[in-house]
Structure 1
Amino acid sequence: MMAVALRCSRHLPALLYCSSFAVMRALPRAPAGCPALLLGACGQCAHQLLLTRQLATKKAKGKGQSQARVNISAALVEDIIDLEETKEDMQAVVEALKEDFSRNLSVRTSPGALDHIMVMTKDGKFPLNQLGQISQKSPQLIIVNMTDFPESTAAATKAIRESGMNLNPEVDGTIIRVPVPKVTREHRENLAKLAKQSTNKSKEALRKVRNKNINQIKKFKNQVSEDTIWMLEKQIQQMTDSTTAEMDKLLAAKTKELLG
């Protein structure tokens, strides 16, 4: 894939990857009276940018063809938006979803699954493993020893019960016994529903990242060309679509694992 650099002394440079370099080489020079010359940029560059955009739109409408992609050099638009930071923010949403799947959506409950259950105490919220010692006495029983913070035993019991992990803890003094439920079909289906809900929440978080960046780009609509704004918005949407597809693959794999 070849790259065509579009530069102009009065407009922000942009780097656009075109699927056909031969097509770009064959672009005609801007004729007299071409609307592109009115953009205030280098006439030839503006004309090529206009034709490139038209080419992308035409390709997107073609039968059986995927939409043309743009790939703008982050260094060339750093004064408008930090694309690398945008990518990192989107990936952070994916990583949080992976962590949620691993920690809270397992067919079989392990001691580690209880570690980060948040317990509300009079002094604030704390992970369960900071308040009690968690161990597995047998494949069917997990023990939480609350000797160090006995006053938080009731709160810890409530947090375990309301964790959404289908657990029914029993209290014996400062010891919380957590029977590990049998893996029923109903339990598997409930976990799959939770996985779907978690994915939807992650997609909502992703949309917030997208909207934040789109709004950032629009702040510069009076400072750079319309086509620069168009390409940046398209780039952000491509990143969003790619991240959404990654989350859908994670959900499909997790659902298959949970339902067996």
Structure 2
Amino acid sequence: MSDAVLKTTEQKMSKSIESLQRELAGIRTGAANSSMLDRVTVNYYGADTPINQLASISVPEARMLVVQPYDKGSVDDVLKAIQIADLGVNPTSDGTLIRITVPQLTEDRRKEFVKDARKEGETAKVAIRNVRRDSNDDLKAEEKAGNISEDELRNLTDDVQKLTDKFIAQVDSLCDDKEKDILEV
């Protein structure tokens, strides 16, 4: 049973890392990246739909994204959704496709994006610590039920802490890498 708790703990912490990677991918660096639009949803026939389900997104140049909606009638809706998303870009449309020129980031904007990345990192750390707390509670319940001894509880709690430290280090590494990408001119 206690091995199952460790396995579940590791799976949940891995999901926190995956979530962090998705969030960091959405934070803009100086270059165009199709994942910038991952958080954009379009009100399409009354339902909020992710933009990547309504259009093909390509990167023809280092500083340009091209969004081509599958339904030509939704071009204005997609354009409006990108403008509302506050990505710091100004999309233009020619009626059939949308071009997004990614401007060079100012120093202030770069610092702002670094703060956003760090905030996402802290959110991931909190999620990982919450998983640790829940796992430790489960292990204490196992000990109270008599399924594991006090020594086993101590060893398993140490194992959970080692997992926590490992995943916190991954969060720091991901945030440091993203910070370097953002600050790179």
* TM-score in terms of structure 1 length: 0.59
* Partners of 2:37 and 2:51 within 8 A in 1: yes
Amino acid of the structure 2 residue aligned with 1:104:
I
Closer, same or farther: CA 200–162 of 1 in aligned 2, 3 Å? farther
**Structure 1 letter corresponding to 2:173:** K
Tell me if structure 2 keeps the 8 A contact 1:117–1:127.
Answer: yes
The equivalent residue for 2:142 is 220
What's the CA shift for 1:194?
Answer: 1.5
Contact 1:133 1:144 in 2 (8 A): yes
Structure 2 unaligned residues grouped into runs of 5+: none
- 1:245 equivalent in structure 2: 169
CA distance in 2: counterparts of 1:165 and 1:249, whole angstroms: 25
Q: Alpha carbons of 1:93 and 1:144: their partners in 2 closer, same or farther (altered >3 Å)? A: same
If asked which structure has higher relative contact order (CA below 8 Å, sep 6+), I would say: 2
CA contact (8 A) 2:75 2:95 kept: no
Supply the distance in 1 between the matched residues of 2:80 and 2:122 (Cα, whole angstroms): 26
1:9-158 to 2 correspondence within 5 Å? 77-78=2-3, 81-114=4-37, 117-136=40-59, 138-146=61-69, 148=71, 150-151=73-74, 153-154=76-77, 156-158=78-80
RMSD of aligned alpha carbons: 2.8
Corresponding pairs, count: 182
1:111 and 1:142 in contact (8 A); partners too: yes
Letter in 2 for 1:211: R
Q: Which moved more, 1:105-114 or 1:126-135?
A: 105-114
Q: 1:209 aligns with which of 125, 131, 135?
A: 131
CA–CA distance in 2 between the matches of 1:200 and 1:157? 32
Larger radius of gyration: 1
Among 230, 235, 243, the residue aligned to 2:159? 235
User: Once the two structures are aligned, what percentage of the paired residues are identical?
Assistant: 28
CA contact under 8 A between 1:199 and 1:251: conserved in structure 2? yes
Contact 2:2 2:139 in 1 (8 A): no
Give ranges in structure 1 of 5+ residues lacking alignment: 1-75
Cα deviation 1:93-129 (Å, max 9, x = unaligned): 2233233333434321234533563334345332212
Query: Does residue 197 of the first structure (1) align with residue 122 of the second (2)?
Result: no
Within 1, Cα distance between the matches of 2:135 and 2:72?
45
Higher share of residues assigned helix: 2
| Cα distance, 1:251 vs structure 2 | 1.4
Q: Is the 8 A contact 1:147 1:175 kept in 2?
A: no
